[in-house]
Amino acid sequence: SQQGEEDPQALSIQEGENATMNCSYKTSINNLQWYRQNSGRGLVHLILIRSNEREKHSGRLRVTLDTSKKSSSLLITASRAADTASYFCATDSVTAGNMLTFGGGTRLMVKP
Amino acid sequence: DTAVSQTPKYLVTQMGNDKSIKCEQNLGHDTMYWYKQDSKKFLKIMFSYNNKELIINETVPNRFSPKSPDKAHLNLHINSLELGDSAVYFCASRGSHSGNTIYFGEGSWLTVV
């Protein structure tokens, strides 16, 4: 199964609402990253949180990490229609060498 | 200028054919990757290539082979294509000066008929 698993698989909200996506993983990590993928495009890095950090902010993004529960969440505040995309968490684990392992993604739709 | 570029963007081919997807990065990165994204959007690492060290995901069939003529290029060769190979293939790169961020290409849509 995927190292990172996102929840929910799909999320539909109205513009202006907040969107929360969760990610769970199995092994010890060096860091956890969130990426965004617009339809038909490649993935774009959003934010990285290290294993010794608990929370990180970047603009309207807020990421938390709970290493005891092996989980992370991505919060997008005041969502916009342009935030419509798939969001993936990726783990940079101790045992995976130089490779990031991605989850299945959350497909977010923000309705105008 | 595109940082990670891959060609072709779309490829439709028949079963049994051999095809290649090219990838180039102009970021000066040391490590390059190939990922496969299936119809359910799952991204699976296929290969990691760093300073002539190749790390292969053991689940990848040996019909798939990466070729790196130099540090800026990592091409993907696929022999005897099968229907199940239809997917989007992403090239990516990572450098020591970019921290742990991976930069992705725009993807190559492969359809095997």
In tens, the pLDDT along A32-50 reads: 999 999 998 999 999 999 9
Judge whether residue B104 has pLDDT over 90: yes
DSSP state of A110: E
To the nearest whole Å, the CA of B37 is away from the closest chain A CA by: 10
User: Could you tell me the two tokens for B2?
Assistant: 């595109």
CB contact under 8 A, A48 and B35: no
Q: Confirm if A98 and A3 have CB atoms less than 8 A apart.
A: no
What are the C-alpha distances in Å from A27 to residues A10, A94, B38?
25, 8, 24
- Interface probe for A, chosen from B23, B33, B41 (most Cβ of A below 10 Å), is B41
Higher pLDDT, B14 or B42: B14
User: Could you tell me the two tokens for B95?
Assistant: 């450098």
CB contact under 8 A, B100 and A98: no
- What pairs with residue A32 in β-bridges? A49, A91
Confidence of residue B98 (pLDDT cuts 50, 70, 90): low
Cα separation, A9 vs A72, in Å, equals 15
Which of A17-21, A55-59, A67-71, A103-107 bottoms out in mean pLDDT, i.e. has the lowest? A103-107
Q: H-helix or E-strand containing B51?
A: none
**Would you give the distance in Å from CA B34 to the centre of its chain?**
3
Q: Which residue has the tokens 């800026």?
A: B72
In what order do the strands lie in the sheet containing B4-7?
A: B4-7, B19-25, B75-78, B64-67
Cα separation, A61 vs A110, in Å, equals 15
CB contact under 8 A, A44 and B104: yes
Q: Confirm if A79 and A19 have CB atoms less than 8 A apart.
A: yes
CB contact under 8 A, B43 and A107: no
Instruction: State pLDDT tens for residues B51-92.
Output: 778 887 878 999 999 999 998 999 999 999 999 999 999 999
Judge whether residue A96 has pLDDT over 70: no
C-alpha dihedral, A5 to B9 to B2 to A108, nearest 10° = -30
User: Coil, strand, or helix at residue B3?
Assistant: coil
Nearest to B31 among A31, A92, A98 (CB): A98
Cα separation, B11 vs B23, in Å, equals 14
To the nearest whole Å, the CA of A49 is away from the closest chain B CA by: 10
Q: Count H helices, E strands: chain A?
A: 0, 11
Cα separation, A13 vs A111, in Å, equals 6
- CB distance from B45 to chain A under 8 Å? yes
Which residue, among B34, B2, B5, B9, has the nearest Cα to B108 in the 3D structure? Answer: B9
